[in-house]
Amino acid sequence: MKNPLIAREGWLVLLAAFAAALIATWLVGVWSIPFWIWAVFALQFFRDPVRVPPADADAVISPADGRIVAVEKCRDEYLDREALKISVFMNVFNVHSNKSPVDGEVKNVWYTPGSFVNADLDKASTENERNAIHIASARGDVTSVQIAGLIARRILCYVRAGDRLTRGQRYGFIRFGSRVDVYLPVAARAEVSIGQKVMGGRTILARW
């Protein structure tokens, strides 16, 4: 099913924000400007543009918009293996819709409660509230982890074990500043570097 250009997670927020701005304009005129600033911010935050993933069969694509903050080999605690981890940090101005990095079947979903430290920090991967999915692809196992940030207070995941995903398919959303970690087999080759900006559903993170 195709998604609207504005994420459904934001419809009520936007309705409330613009209603408040209109009422404030009627009541206090020019003093309503802060309400309009909030409404416009909410509109850009909840945008959800259509993305067409690259046709490259060897590509693992970014699950989120943002900036690369980690490219390293480490332990994947979910599948108990050594892995290549690539982390994408989302600030409040990025699109927060999350997309599948590969084609495959969802084997497991794990939710872990936790803290809300700055998602830009390495310890966010192990200390923050997070939701992980294990995707079994034809090329290997992938773990994609949604991580709450400093002001993020809700992780939404719409898949469960047994569901099938295609690259670029929307599977979740995180509200306000957050992070997504992708764990790949160690043989995968990273195609991004620290500090690079990426687009969810579009940028190639790695190749098999």
Tens digits of per-residue pLDDT, 108-143? 999 988 766 555 666 666 677 889 999 999 999 999
Q: Which residues are catalytic?
A: 178
CA distance 202 to 78: 26
Is the per-residue pLDDT at 65 higher than 50? yes
Helix locations, the chain, DSSP H: 11-28, 33-45, 124-127
The 10s digit of each residue's pLDDT in 142-159 is 999 999 876 656 788 999
Average pLDDT taken over every residue of the chain: 88
Is the per-residue pLDDT at 100 higher than 70? yes
The 10s digit of each residue's pLDDT in 79-96 is 999 999 999 998 888 888
Count of beta carbons in the 10 Å neighbourhood of residue 61: 24
Q: Which of 200, 204, 171 is nearest to 66 (CA)?
A: 200
Residue 166 in contact with residue 134, Cβ under 8 Å? no
